[in-house]
Structure 1
Amino acid sequence: MEALLSLSFDNLSSYDGGKIRKGLRQVEGLLAQICLSTSAKSTVERRRSSIVDPGKEPPPRKELGELGQDPAFREFFKLQEGFEWNVALRLVNCLDRLMGRSNDGANDLLILSTLDLIQGILLLHPPSRSLFSRELYMNHILDLMEPVNCPAIQSATTLTLVCALIDTPQNTRTFENLDGLLTVTSLFKSRSTSREVKLKLVEFLYFYLMPETPSIPSAIATASVPAMLQRSPSKLAGAFQLRAETAGRRRADSESETTKTIEEKQELLGRYLNSVDDLVADLRESTPFGMVEC
């Protein structure tokens, strides 16, 4: 696994579009091997089956709760704990270079592929979300939501932002401090924004207004693993146990982490959007995303 990661990282660090595309595909292939169910058939049998019946559905995805018990995933998760093999860091640095290139269709496709992989890695390895507590990386997300970018990138960036903020109030505070709410609401109110993007932004606003829980890494570091696992959308119980095993060597920071209530976030959002009261009322009534009333 280290050899494959090293090869993909070399390609991702290139300024050549072809090599970057190859590196993205290598990362995607690795994540696919981890997330797709393995059949009892041999590799040769599976390949023969796909040739004979090309319309056959691909292997089903593993349930998120099953990943924690998978040896390959546990090895991957452990590698992500270190700087050298962290995929999220390499992807956001690759995104930085792509954003500095000329805007064209080919580059836009590379940005979209990078955003998709960032979404996946943040869900598979929640501690990597801490990268977006840094203003540099959060600014990348906000820059990609600017009107100059195409609707596809704006939509993908909105989803990436959600993945970066799940269960990480510290990231949400960084988002707010960088006028992220202004960026989101300005894009939403712009007449040039496509309907698809506006729908994604509404979904994001519902998500933003939800009650906050402590960050997954902080909660584990303070030995509250069982409770956090029940609330975690990723449900990677086995993987989080790996985090718990090394938590004793890390400083718990949950005491310094600030969460905000729905009312506090409602007041903030209300500075930029008039219909916040309706959003909150609907949020409390419909309880989307399995929201628990606080």
Structure 2
Amino acid sequence: MEALLAHSFDYLSSYDPGKIRKGLRQVEGLLAQICLSKSKLDRRRSMIVMSTSQSSPQPAAKALGDLKDDPAFREFFKLQEGFRWNVAMRLVTCLEHLLGKGSNGTNDLLIISTLDLIQGVLLLHPPSRTLFAREIYMNLLLDLLDPINCPAIQSSTLLTLVTALIDNPTNTRTFEELDGLLTVTSLFKLRATSREVKLKLVEFLYFYLMPETPTIPAAGSSAPNTAVLGLQRSPSKLAGAFTRSVNGASDSRGESVNRTTEEKQRLLGRYLSNVEDLVEDLKETSPFGGTVY
């Protein structure tokens, strides 16, 4: 796996769009192999089906709870704990490079592919989300919400932003400090913003208003995400490297990391007039499932 990651990282750092695309496909192939890997019994069944049918069976996705028993996933997760093999870091660096090349059809497609892969990596390795506690990386996502970017990039960026903020109040504080709420609401108010993007913006605001429950730990604490997967590992070195400094800064100001829906409502109310309606709808419909009040 190290050899595959090394080759893909080399391609991702290239200035040639063709090589970048190849690097992205290699990362995509690795993630697909992990998420779609099947048991020996399934492989035997597939071979039987293939021998009796002209069409190949579609690979079945694994449930998250089954990944803990997958050797490929365990190896991937272990490699992500350090900077050398961390895929999220490389993809974010690639995204930064692509963003500096301006807007054109080929580059836009590469940006969208990179954002999609970042989403997948952050879901497979939650500690990597702590990268977005840093302003430089959070600013990349906010820059991609600029009105000059195409709707497809804006939509993919909003999904990536949600993935980066899930269970990470520290990241949300960075988002707020960088005027992320102003960026999101300004895009929503623009008449030129497409209907599809506006719908995703509303979904993002519903998500933002949810009360916060942190699950990504600082160094030295327990690691719920790894415990759920049965990995029984020490907290991620990558996560600890960022949460130590950010949490320390919050503590020095005497601020609480977590915020309630009411606190977020007041913040969002600075930029949007109908926040109360959003909160009431959130209470009544629970759009993300479960009861939050």
TM-score (norm 2): 0.88
Worse overlay, 21-30 or 101-110? 101-110
In structure 1, give the amino acid aligned to 2:59: P
Residue identity in the other structure for 2:181: L
Measured after TM superposition, the shift of residue 84 of structure 1 is: 0.3
Give the structure 2 partner of residue 148 of structure 1.
148
**1:221/1:251 contact within 8 Å kept:** no
Task: Summarize the alignment of residues 192-271 of structure 1 with structure 2, pairs less than 5 Å apart.
Answer: 192-218=192-218, 221-223=220-222, 225=223, 228=224, 236-239=228-231, 241-244=232-235, 256=251, 258-271=257-270
Question: Are 2:3 and 1:11 equivalent residues in the alignment?
Answer: no
1:252 deviation in Å? 8.2
State, as a whole percentage, how many aligned pairs show the same letter. Answer: 64
Once the two structures are TM-superposed, the CA of residue 64 in structure 1 deviates from its matched residue by: 0.8
1:189 matched residue in structure 2? 189
Q: 1:210–1:291: 8 Å Cα contact kept in structure 2?
A: no
Q: What is the CA-CA distance between 1:68 and the residue it aligns to?
A: 1.7
- Counterpart residue number, 1:94: 94
3-state DSSP of counterpart to 2:153 = helix
CA contact (8 A) 1:221 1:252 kept: no
Distance between the aligned counterparts of 1:133 and 1:5, measured in 2? 24
Separation (CA, whole Å) in 2 of partners of 1:107 and 1:14: 13
Q: Shift of the alpha carbon at 1:46?
A: 4.8
Whole-angstrom distance in 2 between the partners of 1:272 and 1:166: 22
Deviations 1:200-250 (A, max 9, x none): 1111000000010124233x8423x5xx45xxxx995224x3245989x98
What is the CA RMSD across the aligned residues, in angstroms? Answer: 2.7
Shift of 1:289: 1.7
Count of aligned pairs: 282
1:53 aligns with: 54
Q: Distance in 1 between matches of 2:52 and 2:23?
A: 26
Q: Distance in 2 between matches of 1:152 and 1:50?
A: 40
CA contact (8 A) 1:64 1:236 kept: no
Question: Which amino acid is the alignment partner of residue 237 of structure 1?
Answer: L
Which residues of 2 match residues 8-47 of structure 1 at below 5 A? 8-40=8-40, 46=47
Q: Note the alpha carbon deviations across 1:252-273, whole angstroms, 9 max, x for none.
A: 8578461111111000000111
Do structure 1's residue 283 and structure 2's residue 282 form an aligned pair? yes
Shift in CA distance, 252/92, structure 1 to aligned 2, threshold 3 Å: closer
CA contact (8 A) 1:222 1:252 kept: no
Cα–Cα, structure 1 residues 222 and 128, in superposed 2: closer, same or farther, change >3 Å? same
How far apart in 2 are the matches of 1:124 and 1:212? 21
Cα displacement (A) at 1:51: 11
Question: 2:177 is matched with which residue?
Answer: 177
Q: Which amino acid aligns with 1:242?
A: R
The whole-number CA distance in structure 1 between the counterparts of 2:242 and 2:146 is 37
In structure 1, stretches of 5+ residues that fail to align are none
Which residue identity is paired with 2:229? A
Indicate if the aligned counterparts of 2:12 and 2:91 stay in contact, CA closer than 8 A: yes
SS in 2 for 1:289: coil
> What is the TM-score normalised by the length of structure 1?
0.88
SS in 2 for 1:68: helix
